[in-house]
Every structure is written in C-alpha cells, then in structure tokens.
Amino acid sequence: MVKVQSSTSGYPRIGGKREWKRALESFWNGATSEEQLLKTTETLRLESLQKQKEFGVDLIPVGDFSLYDHVLDTSIMFGVVPKRFEYAGGKVPLETYFAIARGTKDAVASEMTKWFNTNYHYIVPELEGVTPQLVENRPLAFYKEAKEKLGIDGKPVILGPVTYIKLAKSFGEENFSTLLQQFTPLYIEVLKELVVAGVEWVQIDEPILTSKLTEEDFQHVQQAYAAIHEAVPQLKIILQTYFEKVANYEAVVALPVHGFGLDFVHGDSLELLQKYGFPQDKVLAAGVIDGRNVWRADLDKKVTLLEEIQLHVDKSRLIVQPSSSLLHVPVSTETEEKLDPIIKGGLSFADQKLAEIVLLSRGIHDGTETIATGLEESRNALARLNNSKYRQNVEVKETIENLTEQDVNRSLPFAKRIIEQQKRFNLPLLPTTTIGSLPQTPEVRQTRSKWRKGEITNEAYEQFIKDQIDKWIEIQEDIGIDVLVHGEFERTDMVEYFGEKFEGFAVSQFGWVQSYGSRCVKPPLILGDVAFSEPITVKESVYAQTLTTKPVKGMLTGPVTILNWSFVRDDIPRFDVLNQIAFALRKEIEELEKNGIRMIQVDEPALREGLPLDQDKRESYLDAAVYAFKLATSSVENDTQIHTHMCYSEFSGIIKSISALDADVISIETSRSHGEIIAAFENNTYDKEIGLGVYDIHSPRVPSKEEMKQNINRALKTINPKQFWINPDCGLKTRKEEETIGALKIMVEAAKEVRESQLATLKN
C-alpha cells in the first residue's frame, strides 16, 4: 500500500532565537560581510531542513527560505527590478535586492503590503516597463544544496505565476493575460531544469485561487497550467492554496496538475469536498494542522476530519500537512522555560506541528491504535488547559453577554463633538503629530533587558524612561510639532505590551515570527478570559503631559489589532474574545481620561488584514470590528478626542466601516502607495478628520521637503484642509534618532509652508 505521506508547505526562516534577524542587521550595519551573511543563513537553512528530516517529514520544502521576502525573491529570479535601481541585467546583486526592499538615498523602496490577511508583509512587484527573464533558478539551487549537503530529496516551493502577477503593482486587469503569457515560459524553464536535476515533487503556491477570478482570467490560468503540464508532464506538481477555501472549486481541481493543497482549517474545504467530491486521479495535500495559530491540535478531531476526507479521497492519494506555511508561527516551544506548564503543554509551535503532522499521517496509514499514546497525551494537555483558572472568569463572560447598544455609542454625533474638541485643543490648520512610537535605540533596548534580568532596580528603570520622555518632549517642541507623544519607550511591542498587562494573556520568551524584513514580532498568547486589572499606560502619559502645554496623546492598541496580532485561543468564538479585549481597553481609556489625557489614540493597523478572504464572511467581520472599537472608545466625554491609525490598507471596499468606527481623527499610511489610497476618498464622502502619512518610515531614507509637500497637496485636492492632519505614515520605533529628527523637521517645515498657502487661499 502507498504510504500516507507527511509534508510541510514552508518552515520559519528566522531561527529559534532570531539568528537570521541578527545576521541581516549586522550586514546592513556594515559589521559583517556579504560572505558572512550568506554563510550564517546557509547554516540556519540547513539546520531547519535537517530538523524536518529528523522529525520524519516525507516531503520537505526547499526554496521557502528567504533573505527578506519570498515575493521579492520571485521578482529577482526573473530580473524584475524597477528602473530606478539601475539594474544592468544578469543575476541580481544582493545590494540591489536589499535596495528594492529598503530603498536608498536616491531611490524609494518598492511598496510593501500585507500578504493576504496575515501580518506578514511582502514587497510588491513592479512589472511596468520590465521584460522578465530567468536570471537565477533559485529553487534549483536550494534543491541541490539540500540534496548534496543533507541527502534530502526536497520539494521545491515556488510562488505561482497567477498569484505573483495578481499581487503586482498597477499591472492593470487588461494586462493580466499578456503578463501571464510572458511569465509562463519562464516558469516552464525553471521546472524543466528541476526535472533534469531529478526533482519529483514541486509545490507551486497559488493562494490567489481563494479569490474569485473572472471567467476570462481563469481561462488564461487554464491555458498557463496546460502549457506547464505539456512541458513537464512527469513532474508531480502540487498546486498549493491556503488561508481560505478555493473559489470556483470544480474548475480549480480540474487543472492539469498532480494534486492540490487545500486549507481545512481556515476555509470550508470539507464542505466543498462533500458537495463536489475530488478527482480520482489527483493527490490531496490536506492542510489539517493550523499553520497560523499556536495551540495544540485536538488530535481526536483531526483524526475524525481525516476519516471524513477519506470518504472522498483514498488514503493512497492523501498527504497530511499544515494549512499553510509554518512561516506564521514561532519555531519551537522547547526553549519556553518560564511559561506555566499548563500553558506550555497546550502550545504547538512549528516543530511541535511537525510532530503532529507525522503522527497523524502514521495513524491514518497504520491505524489510530498505533498512535494511541500520542492521542492520549494531546487529550490530557488540552483538558488541563480548558479546565484551568485561565478559562473560568465568570464575571468577564457575564459582562460580555449583557452588553447593549447603549454601551457602544457616544452621546453626541461627530459634527457636534468636533466643535467642543476644537474649543478644547485650539489647534492650527493642518496640525502636525506623529503616530506614537519614537526611536528605540540600543540604549533603550539594553536598559529594558537589564531591568527584565533584575540587573537594575525598578526605580532606576522608571527614571530612565522618564529621562527618555523628557528628551523627546523637548525635541518635539523644538521641532514645532503640534500634538505630542510620550514615545512608548517602556514598550517592547504595541500588542505584546498589553498582553503582559491584561489578564487572560501570556507572553512567550522566544515566540517570534517575521513581520517584514528583519522585523520580528512576538505575538502574545490569548489563552483565557481577557480582563482589565490595573492601569497600563496612565503613568507615562500623565508624566509626559506635565512637561508641556501642548496636548500629549494617550497611546493604546485597538481591540481588533490586539486580536489579529495575537495567537488567539480557539476554544470559543473569536468575536467573543474580541469583545473581551475591547471592554478591557474601555477601562484603560476611562483611566486615561480620568487622569487628564483628553486626546487618546487607539490604533487599528490590523483592521483590514483580518478581513476574511471569503467575500461572504466580510460583513460579519466588519460589523464585529466596528462594534468592538466603539465598545472600547464610546464612554469618553464629547470633548475627548479619539484618534486611530491604520497602515497598509486598501480602503475602497471598507470605507463605510472605517467611518462607522466613529473615531474623531484617523491617520493612514499612504507614502509607499504613492497616495493611491486617496482614491478611496475621491469617490466617498468622509466627514471626520484625517491624516494621510506623508513619508515612509520603513526606509532609512529621509525624503525632501518637496516630496512631502507633493504628498500633502495631492491629498488636499480631495480632502478639506480643515479636516487634514500631517503625520508620518507609521510609528518611528525602528528608525534611528538622526533619521527621525531630520524627517520630522522637514515634515513640520512642509506643513507650515502648505498651511500658509492654504490660509492665504482661505482669506481670498
């Protein structure tokens, strides 16, 4: 009998303790050479492959590793380099690769945006004016490396042509067929070279197939894959989808490939299987282990799911795997020495998921009695967590059940509130502010680390934080910023910080995942009922306000973002958890207001990224998001001004929901998208105040005043200057002090010049 195989669709690239991040940043800072960088990352890559081999995974992915981003890797494989980077052809130099991602003094970085509905960011390909050609067969290089150095006959992973083109920048729908015709022969060239090298299996990622393509577009998809099949008929291609069920299921599974990877965790793939069946000559790579969350799988339920799948797919054609790449989860729980054993026992990071996948594949092949011990261990660990004190807060549950509409509405509409707020704050036209965080220097991080290790006292640490606030309040006043921030020097991460303070959360030591570039985040664990216990942000905000007569914003992370950027318990409905978080934040906001902070920013950068890929599920998600935000913010006085911030969002489809949040001021990232978000406001009336980020903080480049003025004036063609705020596009935590001060000075100068021009126009 053919063995039920286990597979991984991707593995974390950062290393168990972020060795990858340190290697990259050391290279960028000039402390190590390109050769040293490549050697360090090769070691990490081979260690990850060896680990998967030792766990017993049958189909091990190669080519899923990246020095920055897998979409950018696809671009450079095909020589897709924007003209401003002066690429001369041939293999793309590493310097150019990083320049595309990070920008240079003379060239802005390529746009960066969210990878579907995750917190991972990819570099958006720029295809206009580019003639693609195969300049480097990356999957082949990684395949040979794994085979020659580890004896692993790997499964090359390639981002598919349809997804790559659809995610590219401004290609135009009318150009899709032309571009696909250009890229298909290049993909065939890659695949032919893999065949010659002896490759048996290839994974082509086409997550875009979870979206509804037009009939015309899908005809082009069929033609492309027919051409691929004709060129390499012997190659076992798994067309991999994830994050949702596939749209147009019957047509997709009729494509001429060896098999399909379907997500049985986040999409309704089982319903599709039950309704339409599955081709009898295809392999199904069943994503039954959650590749995006960290909780131990209920293996009894997974066995039941796989048994149901077998009613439609014979186990000889079944592969067991995660629902998506494990890029989205931390590496291993083995290093988590400080967590309560009950919590740790309920967790499953990437390595533990490998064990679950291998266990399930063995159980399905040999019978569940052969994995009885593993099933019992899983059963007991989950029971301990579910019965623990963390999930027994009756008061929280009753509070959420008894909420009413009165709890989520402010007492006056915006048009009347804003009059009271203008009287209180008396701000100039086009007021300037920042998004919240200010540079966290090595000194800040080192001091926090010493405090956490007990090497300095609480008093010494608090004085250090005060000194940083003193310094930056003075800097902001000297620059001339109108609304100040305290800088968030006491915070590691905008979500993790709240996870450390609210009940119902836990924070791991090494639970890092990649967000963008070398930026890694450590999502907190929402393991129980969420509740407010004591003020979190009041002390620092109040202290900052004593140093200035200008308003200082209180800074909070919003409920939707905390939810979307955490690993959320999966034993109760997700929206119930969302409302628990919102109510805890409501208590914190009331504490800020009570202590004299009357301008409060509740950031929701992740609101859109949580938007379901399935159109039919979007309305309920947006309704829940609006409800939670209003639950958190609606109890304040009318002259208390609520701000929010969102980044990397396409707003055209959700602008009504954005308005329904009823925030007094919203700030939005626009700089990397070159003002394209403004188009969302050209066709929709937005009656509240708004700041469109005027420069990109994700690049070390300091833009010119003319660039900023151009961004401001572009926005003012659509937005009334009386509604408009001027700010960077996101927080400044990751930037160096000199970059930050230089850019903010230019921003304020640009704002003042445009302000004078607008005031002169208004007088006339």
Annotated ligand binding at 499? The verdict is no
Q: 67-97 in b/e burial notation, b at 16+ Cβ within 10 A?
A: bbbbbbbbbbbbbbbbeebebeeeebeeebb
Per-residue pLDDT tens over the stretch 499-536: 999 999 999 999 999 999 999 999 999 999 999 999 99
Single-letter code of the amino acid located at 459:
E
Percent of the chain with pLDDT over 90: 85
Q: What is the pLDDT of residue 15?
A: 96
136 is in an annotated binding site: no
Q: Is the pLDDT of residue 203 over 90?
A: yes
Which of 241, 306, 339 is closest to 614 using CA atoms? Answer: 241
Residue 703 has a pLDDT of: 86
Judge whether 411 and 460 are in contact, CB under 8 Å.
Answer: no
In the structure encoding, which two tokens stand for residue 489, read together? 């020097």
1 pLDDT band, cuts 50/70/90, is low
Q: What is the β-pairing status of strands 519-521 and 513-516?
A: antiparallel
Annotation-wise, does 520 bind a ligand?
yes
DSSP letter for each residue of 584-599? HHHHHHHHHHHTT--E
- H or E element that contains 528: strand 525-531
Residue 756 assigned to a binding site: no
CA-CA distance, 107 to 87, in Å (whole number)? 12
Residue 650's pLDDT band, with cuts at 50, 70 and 90, is low
What integer pLDDT is reported at residue 714 of this predicted model?
A: 86
Between residues 339 and 407, which one has the greater pLDDT? 339
- Alpha-carbon distance 647 to 730, whole Å? 7
> CA angle at residue 514 from 512 to 518, to 5 degrees?
110
Q: What are phi and psi of 168, to 5 degrees?
A: -75, 165
> For position 695, what pLDDT does the model report?
81
Q: Would you say 21 is a known binding-site residue?
A: yes
Condensed to tens digits (0 to 9), the pLDDT of residues 89-131 reads 999 999 999 999 999 989 999 999 889 999 899 999 999 888 9
Which CATH number is 5-326 given? Answer: 3.20.20.210
**384-433 tens-digit pLDDT:** 999 999 999 999 989 998 988 888 999 999 999 999 999 999 999 999 99
Across the chain, what does the average pLDDT equal?
94
Convert the pLDDT of each residue in 298-325 to its tens digit. Answer: 999 999 999 999 999 999 999 999 999 9
The C-alpha atoms of residue 121 and residue 8 are separated, in whole angstroms, by 21
Q: What is the pLDDT of residue 347?
A: 98
Do the annotations mark residue 19 as ligand-binding?
yes
The pLDDT tens digits of the residues spanning 11-49 come to 999 999 999 999 999 999 999 999 999 999 999 999 999
Percent of the chain at pLDDT exceeding 70: 96
The pairing of strands 525-531 and 503-506 is antiparallel
CATH architecture of the domain with residue range 416-492+530-763 = Alpha-Beta Barrel (3.20)
At residue 493 the predicted structure's pLDDT band, cuts being 50, 70 and 90, is confident
In terms of DSSP bridges, do strands 121-123 and 112-114 run parallel, antiparallel, or are they unpaired?
Answer: antiparallel
Kindly calculate the radius of gyration of the chain based on its CA atoms and give it in whole angstroms: 26
CA-nearest of 651, 716, 724 to 691 is: 724
Place of tokens 């293999």: 91
The Cα–Cα gap between 357 and 361 comes to 6
**pLDDT on residue 678:** 67
The annotation status of 114 as a binding-site residue, yes or no, is: yes
Say whether pLDDT at 649 is over 60: no
Distance, in Å, from the CA atom of 396 to the CA atom of 619, rounded to the nearest integer, reads: 26
Domains 5-326 and 416-492+530-763 share a fold: yes
Structure tokens at 633: 């913010």
Calpha distance 34→40 (Å, rounded): 10
Q: Does 682 have pLDDT greater than 90?
A: no
CA angle at 306 for the pair 300 and 312, rounded to the nearest 5°: 150
Residue 169 annotated as part of some ligand binding site:
no
In this prediction, residue 740 carries a pLDDT of: 94
Using DSSP's 3-state secondary structure scheme, residue 246 falls into: coil
Positions marked active-site? 698
Kind and range of the H or E element at 51?
helix 34-55
**730 in a labelled binding site:** yes
603 is in an annotated binding site: yes
Query: Exposure pattern of 320-337 as b/e (b: 16+ CB <10 Å)?
Result: bbbbbbbbbbbbbbeebe
- Band (pLDDT 50/70/90 cuts) for residue 608 is confident
**Banded model confidence at residue 492, pLDDT cuts 50, 70, 90:** confident
For the chain, which residues make up each domain, given as ranges? 5-326, 416-492+530-763
